[in-house]
A = this chain, B = another copy of it.
């Protein structure tokens, strides 16, 4: 830059920057926290004529340090001074969960002054979507986390968000404002499945239309009519000519995502 103008103190931009004191303004800490969603496909062993049950889940880590020691939280960490926000989100996600090369987008930035008891921390939240069968979780940064778990989500339209790990009901056990981040992540996903193709990041490579409809239903929080859903989704998928072979069901054709 070579700005020829002098300011009211007679300084050039270069002189101004040399004398600039970064302590002039309040400085804050900035963290990234990622809401990772995946689908848990439960094979119905009790009744083989029933469809597999699909559950939407979010990845949580158990904190082993203060604050909120022993509580569940989203994988997160502080933004380093030399990395972009996207790089920070990817680095932290890898360190805490082993996940790499996943679909990830910025969600929203949360900055309520009281949201962290240590100090003022602004959290830039990210949303990530994975097909669980393609990834293996592992705790790379073992100093910080004692446990990783997929937490089940129930969020029917117009109802409050419910979170559960095994038999334990979670919302009150979630650290910081992370229950709010999960809720916002799901609302973003609910909104975007109708006008983008991001849902396919949650799907295995091959799937039946019924399976895909189940995923739309749990994300949208409401049942859909099969013929309407089939018409709407037809332009986004391609039949493979292969069929499922499952006990108790008619064979169903398998489809793949058709990139636009």
Contacts and interface: CB of A to CB of B under 8 A. Distances in A.
Copies of the polypeptide in the assembly: 2
Contacts of A26: 29, 78-81
Interface in A58-101: 64-70, 78-85
A85 B122 CA distance: 9
A65 to B, nearest CB: 6
Interface in A189-204: 191, 194-195
Contacts of A13: 66-69, 117
A120 B28 CA distance: 11
Nearest to A191: B195
A248 interface: no
Contact of A122 (B20, B30, B64): B30
Given A69-B5, A85-B109, A106-B108, A25 B29 contact: yes
A78 B25 contact: yes
